[in-house]
């Protein structure tokens, strides 16, 4: 199509009815269809790429992680000999019997019992004596009798039992010694080995030994931390949003506050950690490594998110509802609490849970306030030393011992399950409370 010399007005004059069947027109339409098809294909492709990354991630974590929920145990015939334990059977039946039993020499008893394993006597976990103690404390009548107990084995044997080593590889590159392989073969041949669900992993806390390490302590630490976070961030965030939306005088100050809040939401989380370190630990003197300080720090971090979500939700409540309530004599506070907040609640909760989920996965600010600690006890309260799930993942992934690889993936699975549960709750709450007007 060359540009015609005729002036525009004249051309428009001469223009006849549009010819939809002309070849150029057909070509244009075909081009449009092609464009739309390609765009849709491109969108699909993007989705497939994203989904396959996600699927790959999930697949590797599940593949590596599911054995983390299991541990291998060896069967041991234990004779609870009072002499070996170093206790007096008569005194045990007395009033302080339980205390006496708790202090008995179980490592010695274990050493003796392990003799029956012959060449594999050194395969038992360092903390296997705890099983003996727990068995006797649970049933003091066992004293002087024999019992068959399952006790955890060392991580190397555990991994062999789970088939984690490539035994066809040359000895110096397969990461496990010939001696351990022989021990494992012997135990297995005797029928003394089993691999089962590892309850201690879900209930216990961290340990230097992979076979003894548990995620329970970190999970509880996360829970306590998040409770503090919610208790502080939700009321503060919602009240700030209500005040900003409903009562704050419009003007320069309100604009400034809005700007600050939006900026705060984008501040890197490590900076909140620095604030927590400088203020809560150094000035306020709160305990290090504690869920209390972690919770407050994370609350500061997610409060802007809640404020922003709550403001959007409050803004979305139609003004006609406010007019209606004011018009029959509701006070501004009553309007907020009877109408605006209930209607805004689904949006507020969605925002809050997204904030909480972010807090659950956060490590950087907690590093600075000492929640990187190696904590071997399940935390007893909000001021006790604790660690949190993502921090536990980080600590384990950093550990050189082979046994922590599957623990790391298992911990990630626990974290993911909690995240999915929380997001499902968010969706449920939103659908449950969503109302139409």
Partner 1 sequence: MNQNPAIGHNQQPKMTARGVNVFYGQKQAIKDVSIDVSSDHVTAFIGPSGCGKSTFLRCLNRMNDTVDSARVEGRIELDSQDIYAAAMDVVQLRARVGMVFQKPNPFPKSIYENVAYGPRLHGLARNKADMDAIVESALRRAGLWDEVKDRLSESGTAMSGGQQQRLCIARAIAVDPEVILMDEPCSALDPIATARIEELIDELRGRYAIVIVTHNMQQAARVSQKTAFFHLGSLVEYDDTSTIFTNPRETRTKDYITGRYG
Nearer to partner 1, 58 or 321 (CB): 321
Closer residue to partner 1, CB minimum distance, 111 or 321: 321
Out of 15, 16, 115, 437, which residue is the one contacting partner 1 (CB under 8 A)? 437
Which of 146, 263, 334, 424 touches partner 1 by CB under 8 A?
Answer: 334
| Per-residue mark of binding to partner 1, 249-288 (x: CB under 8 A) | xx--------------------------------------
Shortest Å distance, C-beta 259 to partner 1: 20
Contact between 339 and partner 1 by CB under 8 A: the answer reads: yes
| Min dist. Cβ of residue 240 to partner 1 (A) | 20
Q: Judged by CB under 8 A, which of 1, 138, 141, 436 binds partner 1?
A: 436
Q: Does 358 bind partner 1 (CB under 8 A)?
A: no
* Minimum distance from residue 312 beta carbon to partner 1 (Å): 19
**Per rule CB under 8 A, is residue 316 in the interface with partner 1?**
no
User: Given the complex with partner 1, which of 299 and 317 has the nearer CB atom?
Assistant: 317
Of 87, 149, 296, 343, the residue at the interface with partner 1 (CB under 8 A) is 343
Q: Interface with partner 1 includes 321 (CB under 8 A)?
A: yes
6 vs 256 by CB, closer to partner 1 = 256
| Torsion, Cα of 122, 126, 127, 129 (10° steps) | 40
Is 16 a binding residue for partner 1 by CB under 8 A? The answer is no
- 356 touching partner 1, by CB under 8 A: no
Q: Name residues whose C-beta falls within 8 Å of residue 231's C-beta, 6 or more positions apart in sequence.
A: 295
Which stretch in 4-12, 97-105, 296-304, 314-322 sits in contact with partner 1 by CB under 8 A?
314-322
- The verdict on 340 binding partner 1 (CB under 8 A) reads no
The stretch near partner 1 (CB under 8 A) out of 209-217, 330-338, 363-371, 379-387 is: 330-338
Shorter beta-carbon distance to partner 1: residue 189 or 249: 249
CB of 346 to partner 1, least distance (A): 12
Chain contacts with partner 1 (rule: CB under 8 A): 249-250, 318, 320-331, 334, 338-339, 343, 435-437
């Amino acid at each position: 199509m060359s540009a015609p010399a005729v002036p525009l007005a004249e051309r428009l004059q001469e223009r006849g009815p549009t010819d939809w069947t002309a070849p150029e027109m057909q070509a244009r339409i075909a081009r449009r269809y092609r464009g739309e098809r390609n765009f849709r294909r491109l969108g699909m492709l993007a989705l497939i790429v994203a989904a396959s990354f996600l699927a790959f991630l999930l697949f590797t974590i599940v593949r590596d992680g599911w054995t983390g929920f299991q541990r291998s145990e060896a069967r041991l015939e234990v004779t609870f000999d009072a002499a070996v334990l170093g206790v007096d059977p008569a005194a045990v039946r007395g009033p302080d019997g339980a205390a006496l039993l708790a202090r008995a020499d179980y490592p010695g008893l274990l050493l003796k019992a392990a003799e029956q394993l012959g060449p594999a006597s050194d395969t038992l976990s360092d903390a296997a004596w705890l099983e003996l103690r727990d068995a006797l404390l649970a049933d003091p009548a066992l004293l002087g009798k024999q019992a068959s107990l399952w006790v955890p084995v060392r991580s190397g044997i555990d991994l062999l039992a789970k088939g984690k080593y490539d035994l066809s590889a040359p000895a110096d590159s397969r990461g496990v010694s010939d001696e351990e392989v022989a021990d494992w073969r012997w135990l297995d041949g005797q029928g003394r080995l089993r691999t089962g669900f590892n309850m201690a992993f879900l209930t216990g806390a961290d340990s230097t030994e992979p076979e003894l390490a548990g995620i329970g302590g970190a999970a509880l630490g996360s829970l306590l931390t998040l409770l503090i976070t919610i208790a502080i961030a939700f009321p503060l965030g919602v009240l700030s949003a209500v005040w900003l939306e409903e009562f704050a005088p419009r003007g320069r100050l309100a604009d400034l506050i809005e700007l600050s809040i939006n900026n705060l939401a984008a501040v890197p989380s490590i900076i909140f950690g620095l604030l927590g370190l400088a203020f809560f630990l150094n000035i306020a003197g709160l305990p290090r490594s504690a869920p209390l300080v972690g919770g407050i720090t994370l609350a500061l971090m997610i409060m802007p998110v809640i404020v922003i979500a709550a403001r959007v939700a409050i803004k979305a409540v139609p003004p006609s509802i406010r007019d209606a309530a004011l018009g029959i004599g509701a006070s501004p506070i009553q309007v907020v609490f009877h109408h605006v907040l209930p209607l805004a609640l689904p949006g507020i909760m969605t925002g809050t849970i997204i904030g909480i989920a972010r807090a659950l996965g956060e490590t950087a600010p907690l590093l600075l306030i000492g929640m990187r600690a190696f904590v071997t006890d399940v935390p007893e309260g909000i001021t006790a030393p604790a660690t949190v799930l993502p921090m536990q993942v980080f600590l384990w992934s950093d550990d050189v011992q082979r046994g922590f690889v599957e623990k790391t993936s298992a911990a990630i699975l626990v974290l993911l399950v909690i995240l999915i549960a929380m997001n499902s709750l968010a969706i449920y709450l939103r659908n449950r409370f969503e109302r139409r007007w």
